[in-house]
Structure 1
Amino acid sequence: MRVTTRTLVSLVLSAAVLFGLASAVVETSGGGGDRTVGAEAGTSSVIWD
């Protein structure tokens, strides 16, 4: 399997979204968590770093 830059970018973005959703679920199930803040924090930190 040949790994290209586009593939790596797609994987990073997918991981960022999944991480954001997972953290949002954890925060929500933990009580008092705002799921949008969790998702945005998970995606933006990976995209902008």
Structure 2
Amino acid sequence: MNEETLPCSEKLAFSTSKEAKAAATVAYYQHGTKLKVYLCKHCGLWHLSSE
């Protein structure tokens, strides 16, 4: 399975949890959106989730 066929290929991806948390903080301050960060089991990178 290559990168383009992963279920997460359309999501923003971050190398570290620190980068993902920073993006979540920016989203909260700019848009009022509370996002959680999680480590993806498919690609091994960090993504954001509204759930």
**Coarse TM-score class (shorter-chain normalised):** 0.3 to 0.5
Q: What is the TM-score of this pair, normalised by structure 2?
A: 0.40
Question: Which of the two has greater strand per residue?
Answer: 2
As a proportion of its length, which structure holds more helix? 1
